[in-house]
Amino acid sequence: MALVVVGSVAFDTIRTPAGEAQEVVGGSATHFALAASWFTAVKVVAVVGADFGEEHLAIFRERRIDVEGVERAPGKTFRWHGEYHGDMNAARTLETQLNVFEHFQPKIPEAYRHAPFLFLGNIQPALQLQVRRQMNRTRLVTLDTMNFWIERAPAELRQAFAEVDAVTLNDGEARLLTGLANLRQAAQAIQALGPRIVAIKRGEHGVSLYTPDFIFKMPGYPLQEIRDPTGAGDSFAGGFMGYLAGTGDVSEANLRRAVVYGSVLASFTVEDFGLRRALRLTREEIDARFREFKHLSHFDL
């Protein structure tokens, strides 16, 4: 089943203890769409500037991602400049240039409107709501957000939470949003705002999924080296939503598998800078790592 994503397409400049990358294609919609594209038809809503050429759009087209909803506006593409230290569990933003993103008004192409699965990437909550309300036959809508919106737009964010089925956020964001240090309590407080499903991303420690019926926790994949964590959260969401949309099945057993596929995609993304690893990934590698997650976490009663 079709999956629509709205989010950022960006040029990222990233420094980590493992090296750096200058002006590489990134953004939440990009990382999400590439991860999800292994499982289903993905349709992107975003804005780029005049400096985002055909060679950049080819990244999406090669994975058969629909870019009809990617608007080209006068001006420069959104730019993010960040760095990571120590265990790399959090980014430090050095500079954000909104550029064409400043006046972005997402428009959903007619052909996108009936997609049953929707991911609202980390953008202004008012825009997330605007997109959500343009989609009228959704089966599962998931929203991602970050500290910046929790602090700057709490009212809009709460409204957006009230109109979605699921949210993804990291442990620090869950604590900031709810004021609760205990993550299970924080997840329950978030469920009380609307979303039935809460996925808390815990970086190297993995992901926890809270639903009204069950809790599922998957540890992080034990990588020897993390080169660049940028995009890990969006890759997780892409694997998760992509797998659900591709199978059209949101049962408990499938939600569990979707968390693992999300974890698989995120674990690849962080192996190299920007999209490098994502662009040389194969389906065989994805399925092999899915089985490795089983081996990593399985025990017999």
Residues in contact with a copy of itself by CB under 8 A are: 17, 86-88, 175, 181-185, 202, 204-206, 208, 210, 214-220, 222-226, 253, 256-257, 259-260, 290-291, 294-301
Q: Which residues partner with 24 through β-bridges?
A: 12
User: Looking at beta carbons only, is 97 or 188 nearer to a copy of itself?
Assistant: 188
Say how far apart CA 121 and CA 236 lie, in whole Å. Answer: 12
User: Looking at beta carbons only, is 22 or 251 nearer to a copy of itself?
Assistant: 251
CB of 204 to a copy of itself, least distance (A): 7
CB of 218 to a copy of itself, least distance (A): 7
What CA dihedral angle connects 152, 164, 187 and 190, to 10 degrees?
Answer: 50
User: Looking at beta carbons only, is 55 or 299 nearer to a copy of itself?
Assistant: 299
CB of 37 to a copy of itself, least distance (A): 22
CB of 41 to a copy of itself, least distance (A): 25
Three-class SS of the chain: CCEEEECCCEEEEEEECCEEEEEEEECHHHHHHHHHCCCCCEEEEEEECCCCCHHHHHHHHCCCCEEEEEEECCCCCCEEEEEECCCCCCEEEEEEECHHHHHCCCCCCHHHCCCCEEEECCCCHHHHHHHHHHCCCCCEEEEECCHHHHHHCHHHHHHHHHCCCEEEEEHHHHHHHHCCCCHHHHHHHHHCCCCCEEEEECHHHCEEEECCCCEEEECCCCCCCCCCCCCHHHHHHHHHHHHHHHHCCCCHHHHHHHHHHHHHHHHHHCCCCCCHHHHCCCHHHHHHHHHHHHHHHCCCC
Asked if residue 4 lies in contact with residue 118, where contact means CB atoms within 8 angstroms, the answer is yes
Q: Which two tokens stand for residue 296?
A: 């990593």
CB of 249 to a copy of itself, least distance (A): 12
User: Looking at beta carbons only, is 157 or 218 nearer to a copy of itself?
Assistant: 218
User: Looking at beta carbons only, is 174 or 281 nearer to a copy of itself?
Assistant: 174
Say how far apart CA 187 and CA 104 lie, in whole Å. Answer: 31
User: Looking at beta carbons only, is 105 or 224 nearer to a copy of itself?
Assistant: 224
User: Looking at beta carbons only, is 162 or 181 nearer to a copy of itself?
Assistant: 181
User: In the block, which residue shows the tokens 């950049």?
Assistant: 56
Q: How many CB atoms lie within 10 A of CB 95?
A: 9
CB of 225 to a copy of itself, least distance (A): 6
User: Looking at beta carbons only, is 22 or 182 nearer to a copy of itself?
Assistant: 182
CB of 226 to a copy of itself, least distance (A): 7
CB of 296 to a copy of itself, least distance (A): 5
